A and B are shown apart, each in its own frame.
Chain A
Amino acid sequence: MRPTCKTGSRPGAMIAFAAVVAVAAVALLMPGRAAMAQAQNPEANYWVYVANEASDAVSRVRFGPDGLVVEREIEVGIRPADIDGAHGVTVSPDGLYWYVSVAHGTPFGQVWKYTAGSDQLVGKAAVGMFPATMAVTPDGLSLFVVNFNLHGNPVPSSVSAIFATGMQELAKIETCVKPHGSTINRAGTLHYSGCVGSDQIVEISVDDLAVTRRLLMTPGEERLLASSAEPSEGAARCKPTWVAVAPDDRQLYVACNGNQEVLEIDAADLRVSRRFPTGKGPYNLAVSPDGKYVVATLKGQGSVAIIDRFSGEERRVDSSQAVTHGIVISPDSRYAFVSNEAIGSTLGTIDVIDLERAERVASTPLALQSGGIAFWKMEPITKGT
C-alpha cells in the first residue's frame, strides 16, 4: 500500500484515504490473506468463485484449515473505462471450467469461459441483454444463461443456450420479462428460471431448447399457463428471483423476492406444496446436497435464512455486509458460502456459515459488489501431509 500524504513535490493537494478504506484495500491487495474468523476452520479445503460486478473481477476463495483466503482475483472485461459487470458465475459439473456472465456490452453481454484453477480464458459467447445467472448440464456440453435485461425496456427477454465446447450460442429461447435464476435439474433434462417481471416460473426442455411449461407465481393465483401463453400482465408480486432443485429433482424451491416467502413446488405437476415465510427480499437459494436445508439469502435485510426442509423451522444468520446476494453449499452440506454486495465503495464480502450451528464462521472482503457465487471443489486434508 502506498503511503498517503497531503502534499508532494508537485504543487497542489491530494486525497487522503479514510482509514477504514485503507484497511479494506490492504486486505484486498494482499494475496493469500487469511480472514478474521479462524476458530471454526474445517479439516478440508473448499473453493468457490465469486463475481464482483462493479470491480469486473472474479475472486477465487479457499476456506480451509488456514481460514478463508482469497487466492486470486481474475480481471474480467475488456473496457477498463467502463463497468462490464461480472454478474453470474458457475462451474462445470466436472470442475474443469468456470463461466462468468459479463452483463454490459454494447449493448449485448457475453459469457466467458475459463479453466478452473489455472483461470485462463478459453472462450467467449455473445448472448443477450444483461446475461445474469447460468447453469451447466451435467455432461458439461450445454450452458444456459438468462438474459435478465434488468435495465432495459420491460419486454419479454430470453434464455440463451450455449454449446459450451465451442462457446457457441445455439438459441435464444424467449421466456418472459426479466428472467433470473438459471437452474438445471440433476437429470439434466429441464432448465428452470424465474421471471421477475412476469411473475412466472418457466421450464425449458434441455433437449428441445423450447419452453415446456409456465407457472404463474402471483401469490394466491399460482397455476399452470399454456406454454405458448404471453407473459402475464399487471404488476408482479412474487417476483421470483431464483429456482433451486431438490437433490432428488422432485421439488423446486422458488424465492418470492416480492412476497417475502420461499415456495416449495412439486416438480411433476408444478403445484405449490408448501410456503415458507422469510424475511425481506429472499433472493438466491440453495438446497443442501443432503436434502436437509433450503437456504435463502435475504437481500433486503442482510441476512441468510436456513430453512429445515422437513420441519419448516427457520434460523437466521446475519451477513457481514449489507445486500446479501448469492449462496452455494458445499457437497458435504456443512457450509454455506454467501456473497454480500455491500454499498458504494465498501468492499463486498464472502461469509461462510456453518449450517448445523447456524453460525457465521468466517468472512473476508473481496471487491466491489460481490454477487454471483459458484462452488468449485472440495478436497479433504490428508493427515501426515
Chain B
Amino acid sequence: MKIHVTRRLLSLSAAAAALMATAAQPALLRAQGTAAELEAGSRVETVKVTPGAPLRVGMGDTLAVSLDFLDDQGSEVRGFRWGFQFSPPIVGARPDRARGQGAFEIWGMKPGRSSLQIGVLITDDEGNPSPELVEQIDVMIEDWPVAKVEIEEPGFEAYAGTSFELAARAVTTHETIHATARPLWHSETPAVAAVTSTGVVTLLGPGTARLTAGVGGASDEITFEVIENPVAEVRVAPATGSVRTGDVIRFEITALDADGRPVSDAALSYSVQAIPSAATPGATIYDDGAFVAELPGSYRVFASAGAASASAVVEVAARPKPTPVELMGRGGNLASASSDLWVFTGVDGRDYAYLGTMPSGGGERLYVWDVTDPTDVVLSDSVAIDARRVNDVKVSDDATWAVVTREQNSARGNGIVVLDLSDPGHPTVLSELTENLTAGVHNVWINGDVVYAVNDGTNALHILDLSDPANPAHLGIWDVRPGEEDKTLHDVWAQDGLAYLSYWDDGLVILDIGAGIKGGTPTEPQFVSQIKYRVDHGEEYGNTHTAFRYGDYVFVGDEIFGCSACINGPRGYIHVIDVSDIENPVDVAKYEVPEAGAHNVWAEDDILYVAYYQSGLRIVDISGELRGDLYRQGREIGSYHTAGDEEDAYKPNQAFAWGPHPFKGNIFVSDNNSGLWVLHHEPPRALVP
C-alpha cells in the first residue's frame, strides 16, 4: 500500500522554499485531506491482513503485518486515509517503512487476547472525515514460554480415604506466573492416589504416592507416603441451627480417632445440600466451617474425612424486608455539581453540613448549610477559594478549623485551604499550604493536629502539621513504593491509631500511626499490612477508591468508570476486609449492587451507608459476622434514590450519590447532581411473638 507520503519527501532546502512560497501567498491554506481521499475510503470493502487471522505473537517477539485494502471487486484501493487500534491496548506497533505504508510490526505488551480494528476515513454528511470500521481480527499475545512448574506443599497429612486439592503453577522464563498455562496433574501411582487433571487428589490406600503436574515440556513431581487414616469419627456441632440469610454459623467440626482424640491434620471435606435436594441451592460452607445462606430454606451440611462423616441441618429464614427512607430536608444545588460533605456541631452550638463542589458549573466553592433543624435546611454562606474543584472537607475535633482540598487552582498552587470556624455559619479563609502540594489535594484526614493529604502528583501521603492552623507546615511523606511512578493514591481515613490508604491498584494499605503495632506515630507512619485485589467488569481492575474501618472489618470500595460492563455508568462494589488479624487482612465478603457503582461509605451502629452513585443511597445491615455476598443475602435494609428535579438539581432526574454521613439520627447525603439530602431511616425490627 502506498497511502501516505513519505516523511522525507521534502529536503530541508525544499521545505524552506515551500515555506517561502507560503509567505509569498498569504491566502494559501493549511493542507487538508481531500474529498478524493475520503471518496476512495468509501470504496474500501475489505482488508486483507497478512498473515491471516488470528494474528499470533509471543511475548518478546515481533510479527510483520501487511494490510491490503480492497474494493468490492477485490481490486486494491489507493489514496485514502486509514488508522487502526488494538482493543484492549495490549499490543505495540511501529511502522515498517521499508515494506511500505500498509506494513507494520506488532509485539505483545501483555499476554491475552486483543482485537485489531482497522478503519478508513470516509466523508460524513457535512463533508468532514468520519471513521468507518472495515476490518476487525483477533490478535493472540502468547505469554513467555513456561520454564518450570512448581507444586505447592499440601497442608494436610496424607491419610488414606481423604481428599484435598493440590496446587501447582506454571512459571515463565521471566519468573512470572503464566497467564494461561495450567499444569495438568497425573498420578504415577493410581492404586495409591487418584488425581483429577486439575489437582483434586483422593488417597485410596496406604503406600507411596507419586504425582506429577506438567505443562509443555516442564513438570514437577511430589512424592509422599499415604498412611492409614486414624479418623474414626467426625462430629459437627451444633447438629441443628436456625438463622436468617446472611447470618454466619461457625460449625465446630472435629475429627477424632478411635480413642476419641482429635486428629487435627486430616483434610476434611465439606458440602452443603438444599432440602429437598431439588431446591435451589443457596448456601455455602467454607473451609473454615463458616456457613452462610443467600436463600431461605433448609440445608444439610456434611463433613467427612475418608469414611467417617457427619452432618447438621440448618433452617434459614428470610431477613426482614427493607423499610422506607424518609426525606427530612433538602439543600439543592442548581449552580454546580457537588462533592463530599462533612456534618458537625459548630462552636455556636448549631449543626452544619459543609459541601464541596465539582467543576461542572463551578468547583470553587464550599457551601455552608445550617442543618440544626433537619427539616428546614438553610443555606448559610459559601466560601470561594480559587479552585475548580473542592473535593473534600474535614473539620477538626474541636470544630474550630476545617481543611478543604483544592484542585485546578488558577496559579496551579492548589494544596489545602484552612478555614477559621469561629463563626461556623460563615467560615473564613485562615491560611493555605501549597508547598509540595501543587498538584492538588484530592482527599484529607484530620488526626488531631496532623493532617494527612492525598497528593495528586506524587501519589504519596503527605503529612502536614496543623498545630498552628494559621501556619500549616509540611512535615513529610509516606509512599507505598518510593521512586516508582505507576501508583495512584486516592483516599485516606484514620481511626484508633491506624490509617487506611486506598491506593488504587496497590489496594488497601494499613499504616500504624500510633496504634502501638509497628512503632508508628502520627508523623512517622509505619507499614502494617496491605491487601490487593482484582475485579472483573469486562476487564480486570484494582481501583481501590475508599476505605472505612468498623469493628473487625474495613469496608473498601472500588470505583470503575469506562469499563465494558459500565453500560449505564460506573461499576465497583464494597469489599469487606476482615482485619481481626491486622497484619493479615482477608477479603471475606462483598456488597455489590449489580446495576451501579459504589462511591463513599460510612459505617455506624452495625449499619453501612453506601453512596452508590447512580442507584442513590443504600443502607446495609452489617451486624454479626460477614461472609459471602451481602446483597444476595438480603442484608440491604433501605435505599433512597437521590435524584433531584428541575427546580433543585444541577442535573435533574438522575441520582449520582457521592457521600453519606450519619449524624444525630439522620443520614446526610451529598449527591453529585443535586446537592444535599437529609434522610431518616428506621431499620426493620425483628418480630417478637
Contacts and interface: CB of A to CB of B under 8 A. Distances in A.
Interface of A: 2-5, 8-18, 21, 25, 53-56, 78-81, 83, 93-97, 104, 106-108, 113, 115-118, 120, 122-126, 129-130, 137-142, 149-153, 163, 165-170, 186-189, 206, 247-250, 289-291, 322-323, 331-334, 341-345, 368-369, 375-380
A378 B29 contact: yes
A16 B334 contact: yes
12 contacts: A11-B375, A11-B376, A12-B332, A14-B379, A17-B335, A53-B408, A54-B359, A117-B126, A129-B485, A150-B439, A249-B15, A343-B410
Contacts of B599: 81
A14 B648 contact: yes
A308 to B, nearest CB: 15
Contact of A118 (B8, B130, B365, B388): B130
A81 B22 CA distance: 46
B81 interface: yes
A247 B89 contact: no
Given A83-B408, A116-B128, A163-B95, A247 B23 contact: yes
Interface stretch (B42-50, B211-219, B323-331): B323-331
Contacts of A153: 457-458
A13 B370 CA distance: 10
A163 B81 CA distance: 15
Interface string B504-531: 1100000000000000000000000000
Please give me the 7 A-B residue pairs with the lowest Cβ-Cβ distance, nearest first.
A151-B439, A117-B128, A151-B457, A12-B330, A14-B332, A78-B562, A344-B364
Contacts of B23: 247, 289-291
B412 A150 contact: yes
Nearest to A95: B32
A380 B16 CA distance: 26
B32 A15 contact: no
Given A78-B562, A150-B438, 19 more contacts: A2-B652, A15-B367, A54-B388, A95-B32, A96-B32, A104-B456, A106-B504, A107-B487, A117-B124, A122-B119, A151-B440, A165-B82, A188-B10, A247-B22, A250-B16, A344-B384, A345-B384, A368-B363, A378-B29
Given A78-B562, A168-B94, A332-B27, A11 B386 contact: no
Contacts of A138: 7, 10
Interface in B619-664: 645-648, 652
B376 A163 contact: no
B26 interface: yes
B647 A8 contact: yes
Contacts of A369: 388, 408, 410
A8 B93 contact: no
Nearest to B487: A107
Contacts of A149: 457
Contact of B334 (A2, A151, A291): A2
Contacts of B652: 2
B378 interface: yes
A371 to B, nearest CB: 11
Nearest to B82: A165
Contact of B7 (A17, A81, A125, A139): A139
Interface string B8-37: 111110011011101100111111110000
B561 interface: yes
Contacts of A13: 330-332, 369, 377-379
A188 B388 contact: no
Given A12-B332, A332-B26, A369-B388, A94 B124 contact: no
B456 A80 contact: no
Interface in B357-394: 359-365, 367, 369, 375-379, 382, 384-389
Nearest to B128: A117
Contacts of B131: 115, 118, 120, 122
A25 B361 contact: yes
Contacts of A331: 22, 26, 28-30
A344 B387 contact: yes
Nearest to B332: A14
B336 interface: yes
Contact of B407 (A8, A83, A170, A333): A83
Considering residues B10, B126, B334, B384, which has the most beta carbons from chain A within 10 angstroms of its beta carbon?
B334
B30 A4 contact: no
Contacts of B164: none
Interface in B457-504: 457-459, 485-488, 504
B359 A368 contact: yes
A343 B385 CA distance: 10
B663 to A, nearest CB: 16
A137 B4 CA distance: 12
A93 B440 CA distance: 35
Given A11-B375, A83-B359, A344-B387, A163 B93 contact: yes
B675 interface: yes
A4 B379 CA distance: 14
Considering residues A12, A56, A141, which has the most beta carbons from chain B within 10 angstroms of its beta carbon?
A12
A93 B31 contact: yes
Nearest to B85: A123
B83 interface: yes
B543 to A, nearest CB: 8
A352 to B, nearest CB: 17
B485 A107 contact: yes
Nearest to B365: A345
Nearest to A334: B26
Considering residues A96, A97, A120, A206, which has the most beta carbons from chain B within 10 angstroms of its beta carbon?
A96
Contacts of A17: 334-335
Contact of A12 (B376, B438, B505): B376
A123 B124 contact: no
B333 interface: yes
Contacts of B5: 139
Contacts of A187: 10-12, 15-16
Nearest to B460: A153
B129 interface: yes
Nearest to A3: B647
Considering residues B83, B385, B411, which has the most beta carbons from chain A within 10 angstroms of its beta carbon?
B83
A249 B375 contact: no
B148 to A, nearest CB: 32
A291 B488 CA distance: 45
Given A8-B648, A104-B456, A166-B86, A345 B675 contact: no
Nearest to B376: A11
Nearest to A114: B131
Given A14-B379, A248-B20, A168 B361 contact: no
A139 B4 contact: yes
A140 B37 CA distance: 15
Contacts of B22: 247, 289, 331
Given A13-B377, A94-B31, A139-B5, A343 B386 contact: yes
Nearest to B373: A11
Contacts of B6: 139
Nearest to A121: B131
A12 B12 contact: no
Contact of A116 (B7, B129, B562): B129
A122 B83 contact: yes
A379 B360 CA distance: 34
Contacts of A378: 29-30
A152 B334 contact: no
A375 B8 CA distance: 24
B104 interface: yes
A107 B440 CA distance: 14
Given A11-B376, A53-B408, A107-B459, A165 B95 contact: yes
Contacts of A93: 30-31
A141 B95 contact: yes
A137 B15 CA distance: 13
Contacts of A289: 22-23, 26
